[in-house]
Structure 1
């Protein structure tokens, strides 16, 4: 059984902070679950071009508001507390947090990540062995 609290992750190597987002990685590949779980904050006003070519991701919004744009179709979806989206086709997307407030979300990745990944130049995480 794995039992953790966010306080055990904040300030460790599994607490990854960038200009546009902070991701506290709660369950990682080494947990053996077949997925990873992250408590992520998209910083106020951030616009993130992402394309998870190697991973599927599901996101559940718990704080804030913003939008996600499907860059293949141009379709825009408004996001608010209680919204969920799944990038089930490795969807290239733009995630935007409203100005003045962050978005906080629970993110699940399959396959799982190891813990310190950041987006590469294409907006993806590298695939781990």
Structure 2
């Protein structure tokens, strides 16, 4: 059984700040945990916009606080995000994530991340081994 508290992650290697300063991700489960997915709590900082394209991963996200929007660049449609909203990037969708108020998001990635990944020039996480 794996049991962790958010406070266990803060200030450790499992707390990753994006290089562009738009988010922080606390990574509860990683590839090394053997669950077949990774599980994160990510805060998208208020007033920011982040371009993302998870070409190597599928992601499901559930908002538990804050407010913002996601813009699907394939369709041009903008979806509001607030507490209780879930979205899934099931087609490796290119998108912008914008935050009006700090958004607290619970995220699941498949395949799982290994730990310190940050977005590359395409807005993607690279596929890494341990």
What does residue 92 of structure 1 align with? 94
Structure 1 ranges of 4+ moved more than 6 A: none
What displacement does 1:60 show? 0.2
Output the CA distance in 2 between the equivalents of 1:53 and 1:15: 23
What does residue 115 of structure 1 align with? 115
Output the CA distance in 2 between the equivalents of 1:81 and 1:74: 23
* SS of equivalent residue, structure 1 residue 97: strand
* SS of equivalent residue, structure 1 residue 30: helix
Output the CA distance in 2 between the equivalents of 1:111 and 1:39: 17
Output the CA distance in 1 between the equivalents of 2:106 and 2:28: 10
What does residue 35 of structure 2 align with? 33
Output the CA distance in 1 between the equivalents of 2:17 and 2:128: 20
RMSD, aligned α-carbons: 0.7
> TM-score, normalising length from structure 1?
0.96
* Structure 1 spans left out of the alignment, 5+ residues: none
What does residue 9 of structure 2 align with? 9
What displacement does 1:36 show? 0.3
What displacement does 1:75 show? 0.7
* SS of equivalent residue, structure 2 residue 128: coil
What displacement does 1:105 show? 0.7
Deviation string 1:28-78 (CA, Å, 9 cap, x unpaired) is: 000000000001000001100000000000000001011000011101101
What does residue 79 of structure 1 align with? 81
What does residue 63 of structure 1 align with? 65
Output the CA distance in 1 between the equivalents of 2:27 and 2:16: 8
Count how many residue pairs are aligned between Structure 1 and Structure 2.
127
